[in-house]
Chain A
Amino acid sequence: MNIVVCIKQVPDTETQIKIASDGKSIETDDIKWVMNPYDEFGVEEALVLQKEKGAEVTVVGAGPQRVTEALRTALAMGADKAVLIEDDDFYGADPITVAKVLAKAIEPLNPDIIFFGQRAVDDDSGVVGSAVAEFLDMPQLSVVTKVEVGDGTVQAHRPVEGATLVLESTLPCVITAQKGLNEPRYASLPGIMKAKKKPLEVISLADLGVERDDKLEIVALNPPPERAPGKQVEGETGQEIAINLVKLLREEAKVI
């Protein structure tokens, strides 16, 4: 069984995002880059299958050289090998372009399952998994919290608004991981040492025969809309504050 996990390297969620002087991109100088938190659930699930089914786990990432760090983290967790599609100008690419590139790189690996995080916490699109499934003509199980691999099939739990769907797909299949799927392991010290010797192949867009053809264009980035200054609800006791608050919500804000 072959498993691929796609990994994006994103700014740590603690990061204060600053808009760059071009008004269309972000300042990347002081950013601490980490593996997208949702991708960690994908790596962990793949490693469970590596142990249970003897699956080989390949992690794939795209972007500048720094993305190697995220791939090495996955190797240190226990993945077998890594592929970096190196391109200095890839951060912020159209997610459909990203999917096209990933699909090209993944296809020769002949995967039974391709894991993604359900979305990257930077551009918040969550479409790359869907688009890769389309480009590789595979079914998909999206945003799942439980995975059970059977013989040629896979079942998953997909929470939607007000319910959880139990779905079954044929393999090969794309699966996107939601928080709750598992508890990702930390890389151990021996794991980190071993990761340095694991194969990490570096390829380019040209190697894949893909040209950038982005259709989604960012024309401007803006800070979030300013909020009007708030007011402190008055009262000597918690009860008084509660009474005044409910009054304000009723009479001033008119929300209840």
Chain B
Amino acid sequence: MAGVWVIAEHRDGEFRKVTFEAASAAKKVAEEMGAEVTAVVLGKGLEAACADLGKYGVNKVLYAEDDAFEVYLVNAYAGALAGLISEGQPEVVLLPASMQGKELGGRLAAKLDTSIAVDCTKLAVEDGRLKATRPIYAGKVYADVLIKSSPQIASLRPNVFDADEVGGEAVVETVSVTPGEIKTKQIEVLKEAEGKIDLTEATIIVSGGRGMKDADNFSIIEALAAELGAAVGASRSAVDAGWRPHSDQVGQTGKVVTPNMYIACGISGAIQHLAGMGSSKLIVAINKDPDAPIHTKADYSCVADLFDVVPAMTEEVKKLD
């Protein structure tokens, strides 16, 4: 029977939210294919946590424990997963399009002599095969793709697929598998400032552009973001001006983001920026120029000076319970 597999991702001994999103998406695909969902967990000391994946629709967990799996390294993981997949012959393999999944997916597809649909935002089943939708040109166009070989591998964009708790408990089967040859080691982990949320996984993003005028003014963006539990983003011009780090850039040559709400402050809306944030679920634009292209994309347009609106907004949000 065709199986749908999910590659679980974990860090610091816990499954990441993107794993639950992928499991829920796998559940829907499996239902349409008349298949079961198997999650593959490579790790160390994670056996107890594995049964919990059942909550998200996973029927069975294949758990492989090894010192080499405690920290993700692409060679170790790809070698082990390719072995398990060759043996189990799933029809579909899903993984998160996280930093890890993007690296792992390509390697796995090459190893298994198949292909991969990267960073998908929609999955469907047609004639028993997976049809994946993925934004290309940073979202200027959406491509529907098929993979003509097995397994059909797809990685899923974070924060697009809902993690649905359907209840249940998965059967955990411990398996033994040899890690791939390790040619890379992790020397150190430099943690970001406490509580900093990554743009690709943030549910709310407050972003600033050229209209911020200088680096110091980003303090009002940070204050609003802190109240909302949001991540701070920036347009390319703000990054190129040196006001924000490269890692904050949203757009075609930065991060493509899909938060529940994107608040653009002093951003005119260059085509590359609109491409990178255009699939946000809700867009708020704050820009005093009524002709700024960002207003055409916004669900809520504020034609006003951001230096008046943003601090006042922070105060209003503080008043909410």
Q: Which segment, of A45-53, A60-68, A74-82, A130-138, faces chain B?
A: A130-138
Q: Tell yes or no: B84 within 8 A of A by CB.
A: no
Q: Are A127 and B118 in contact (CB under 8 A)?
A: yes
Q: Are A124 and B256 in contact (CB under 8 A)?
A: yes
Q: Tell yes or no: B226 within 8 A of A by CB.
A: no
Chain B: which residue is nearest A172 at the CB level?
A: B183
- In the complex, A28 Cα to B140 Cα: how many Å? 15
Q: Tell yes or no: A189 within 8 A of B by CB.
A: no
Q: Given contacts A19-B141, A178-B246, A243-B312, could you give 18 more A-B pairs where the C-beta distance is less than 8 Å?
A: A14-B271, A124-B256, A127-B102, A134-B106, A139-B74, A161-B200, A167-B187, A168-B187, A179-B246, A215-B114, A215-B115, A216-B117, A218-B144, A223-B142, A230-B298, A232-B303, A233-B300, A253-B261
Q: Are A221 and B141 in contact (CB under 8 A)?
A: yes
Q: Tell yes or no: A85 within 8 A of B by CB.
A: no
**Distance of B115 from chain A, by nearest CB (Å):** 4
Q: Which segment, of A1-9, A92-100, A104-112, A198-206, faces chain B?
A: A92-100
A: residues with CB less than 8 A from B are 11, 13-17, 19, 26, 37-38, 94-96, 99, 121-131, 133-135, 138-143, 145, 155, 157-170, 173, 178-180, 214-225, 227-228, 230-233, 235, 237-239, 241-243, 245-246, 248-250, 253, 255-256
Q: Are B107 and A223 in contact (CB under 8 A)?
A: no
Q: Which of B110, B140, B260 contacts A96 (CB 8 A)?
A: B110
Chain B: which residue is nearest A220 at the CB level?
A: B144
- In the complex, A129 Cα to B197 Cα: how many Å? 27
Q: Tell yes or no: B209 within 8 A of A by CB.
A: no
Q: Are B118 and A125 in contact (CB under 8 A)?
A: yes
Q: Are B299 and A130 in contact (CB under 8 A)?
A: no
Query: By DSSP majority rule, is chain A's interface helix, strand, loop, or mixed?
Result: mixed
Which B residues lie within 8 Å of A239 (CB)?
308-309, 312
Q: Are A127 and B116 in contact (CB under 8 A)?
A: yes
Which B residues lie within 8 Å of A227 (CB)?
278, 283, 297, 299
Chain B: which residue is nearest A131 at the CB level?
A: B110
Q: How many A-B pairs with Cβ below 8 Å? A: 274
Q: Are A166 and B188 in contact (CB under 8 A)?
A: yes
Chain A: which residue is nearest B319 at the CB level?
A: A246
- In the complex, A168 Cα to B75 Cα: how many Å? 13
Known: A16-B271, A166-B186, A222-B144. A253 touches B74 (CB 8 A): no
Q: Are B138 and A121 in contact (CB under 8 A)?
A: yes
Point out which of A17, A130, A160, A237 has the most chain B C-beta atoms below 10 A from its C-beta: A130
Which B residues lie within 8 Å of A162 (CB)?
191-192, 196-198
Q: Are B103 and A13 in contact (CB under 8 A)?
A: no
Q: Which of A130, A133, A179, A253 contacts B105 (CB 8 A)?
A: A130
Chain B: which residue is nearest A239 at the CB level?
A: B312
Q: Are B228 and A256 in contact (CB under 8 A)?
A: yes
**Distance of A170 from chain B, by nearest CB (Å):** 5
Q: Are B135 and A245 in contact (CB under 8 A)?
A: no
Which A residues lie within 8 Å of B183 (CB)?
138-139, 169-170, 173
**Distance of A34 from chain B, by nearest CB (Å):** 11
Known: A224-B278, A238-B308. A131 touches B253 (CB 8 A): no
Known: A122-B136, A131-B106, A245-B284. A215 touches B309 (CB 8 A): no
